[in-house]
Amino acid sequence: MTLDEVRVGNSCTVTRFNGTGEIRRRILDMGITKGAEISVRKVAPLGDPMELTVRGYYLSLRKSDAADIEVVPA
């Protein structure tokens, strides 16, 4: 499954990241790498973006970008 499909309150582990371009580097730099644990904390009132906890801090990401992140439920 991909990160955008994870329900609020659930956690998952990154298995692969398929993003491209500038956004790819940004997402990698923010610590979303293979094996990183992510928990989905919230979704914005209008359904997008989503708020995550990764490596102990809060990160907000659009669902379209989250769709490039392959995960398995933790």
Q: Are 12 and 38 in contact (CB under 8 A)?
A: yes
Q: Is 27 in the site for other proteins (CB under 8 A)?
A: yes
Q: Are 36 and 65 in contact (CB under 8 A)?
A: no
Q: Is 67 in the site for other proteins (CB under 8 A)?
A: no
Q: Is 55 in the site for other proteins (CB under 8 A)?
A: yes
Cα 30 to Cα 13, 33, 46, 56, 59, distances in angstroms: 15, 9, 24, 11, 8
Q: Is 72 in the site for other proteins (CB under 8 A)?
A: no
Q: Is 40 in the site for other proteins (CB under 8 A)?
A: no
- Which residues here bind other proteins, judged by CB under 8 A? 16-17, 20-31, 33-36, 41-49, 51, 55-62, 65
